[in-house]
Chain A
Amino acid sequence: MNHAETNQREPVIRVQNLTKRFGSQPVLQGITLDIHHGEIMVVMGGSGCGKSTFLRHLIGSIAPDNGNIYLFGRDITTLSEDALTEIRKRFGILFQSGALINSLTVGENVALPLREHTQLDATTIEIMVKIKLELVGLREHADKMPAQLSGGMKKRAGLARAIALDPQILFYDEPSAGLDPVTSAQIDQLIIALTRKLDVTSVVVTHEMDSAFTIADRMCMLDKGVVLKIGSRSEFQRLREAAADELKDENEQLIRQFLRGDADGPITRRKERSDYEEDLMMVQTRADA
Chain B
Amino acid sequence: MRSTSDGENDKTITWPVRWLAGLGGVILRTSRRSLGALGGMQLLLTETAHQTLTGCLPGGKRLSRGALFFQMVRVGVRAIPIVILVELALGMILPLQTYPKLDEFGQAEQIATINSIAAFRELGALMTAIVLSGFAGASIAAELGTMVTAEEIEAMEAMALKPVRFLVVPRMIATVIMMVLLTVIADVVMVFGGYLTGLRLGVDGQVYYQLTREAVNVAGFITGLVKAGVFGVLIGLISCYLGLNVKPWEGSEGVGRATTNTVVYCIVAIIGADAVFTVIFYAYGLFN
Q: Which residues of A come within 8 Å of B, CB atoms?
A: 59-61, 84-86, 88-89, 92-93, 95-97, 99-102, 112-113, 116-117, 158, 161, 286, 289
The residue among A61, A96, A116, A158 with the most chain B CB atoms within 10 A of its own CB is: A116
B4 at the interface (CB under 8 A from A): yes
For residue B104, give the distance in angstroms from its CB to the closest CB of chain A: 58
Q: Which 3 A-B pairs have the closest CB atoms?
A: A99-B155, A88-B160, A99-B151
Q: Measured between alpha carbons, how far is A93 from B155 in the docked complex, in Å?
A: 8
Q: Is the CB of B160 within 8 A of A85?
A: yes
B283 at the interface (CB under 8 A from A): no
Q: Is the CB of B157 within 8 A of A95?
A: no
Q: Is the CB of B158 within 8 A of A93?
A: yes
Q: Is the CB of A99 within 8 A of B161?
A: no
Find chain A residues with CB under 8 A from B61 CB.
116
Q: Is the CB of A100 within 8 A of B152?
A: yes
Q: Measured between alpha carbons, how far is A230 from B155 in the docked complex, in Å?
A: 28
Q: Is the interface of B mostly helix, strand, loop or mixed?
A: loop
For residue B148, give the distance in angstroms from its CB to the closest CB of chain A: 11
Instruction: Specify which of A97, A112, A286, A289 is in contact with B159 (CB 8 Å cutoff).
Output: A112
For residue A282, give the distance in angstroms from its CB to the closest CB of chain B: 8
Instruction: Specify which of A84, A89, A102 is in contact with B152 (CB 8 Å cutoff).
Output: A102
Q: Measured between alpha carbons, how far is A1 from B278 in the docked complex, in Å?
A: 74
Q: Measured between alpha carbons, how far is A101 from B5 in the docked complex, in Å?
A: 57
The chain A residue sitting closest to B2, CB to CB, is A286
For residue B111, give the distance in angstroms from its CB to the closest CB of chain A: 47
Q: Is the CB of A99 within 8 A of B154?
A: yes
The chain A residue sitting closest to B151, CB to CB, is A99
- 19 CB < 8 A contacts A-B: A60-B158, A61-B157, A85-B160, A86-B160, A88-B158, A92-B159, A93-B155, A95-B155, A99-B155, A101-B156, A102-B150, A102-B152, A113-B160, A116-B159, A116-B161, A117-B160, A158-B155, A286-B4, A289-B4
Beyond A96-B151, A99-B150, A113-B160, list 7 extra A-B contacts (CB 8 Å).
A60-B158, A61-B157, A88-B159, A93-B155, A95-B154, A101-B155, A117-B160
Find chain A residues with CB under 8 A from B161 CB.
112-113, 116
Q: Which of B136-164 contact A (CB under 8 A)?
A: 147, 150-152, 154-161
Q: Measured between alpha carbons, how far is A172 from B229 in the docked complex, in Å?
A: 44
For residue B10, give the distance in angstroms from its CB to the closest CB of chain A: 12
Instruction: Specify which of B4, B5, B154 is in contact with A61 (CB 8 Å cutoff).
Output: B154
For residue A121, give the distance in angstroms from its CB to the closest CB of chain B: 14
Q: Is the CB of A89 within 8 A of B160?
A: yes
Q: Which of B158-172 contact A (CB under 8 A)?
A: 158-161
For residue B248, give the distance in angstroms from its CB to the closest CB of chain A: 10
Find chain A residues with CB under 8 A from B159 CB.
88, 92-93, 112-113, 116, 161
Find chain B residues with CB under 8 A from A85 CB.
160
For residue B92, give the distance in angstroms from its CB to the closest CB of chain A: 39
Q: Measured between alpha carbons, how far is A270 from B40 in the docked complex, in Å?
A: 42
For residue A154, give the distance in angstroms from its CB to the closest CB of chain B: 10
The chain B residue sitting closest to A289, CB to CB, is B4
Q: Measured between alpha carbons, how far is A220 from B122 in the docked complex, in Å?
A: 65
Q: Which of B177-214 contact A (CB under 8 A)?
A: none
Find chain A residues with CB under 8 A from B157 CB.
61
The residue among B150, B151, B152, B159 with the most chain A CB atoms within 10 A of its own CB is: B159
For residue B74, give the distance in angstroms from its CB to the closest CB of chain A: 10
CB within 8 Å for A97 and B150 given contacts A88-B159, A117-B160 = yes
For residue A193, give the distance in angstroms from its CB to the closest CB of chain B: 22
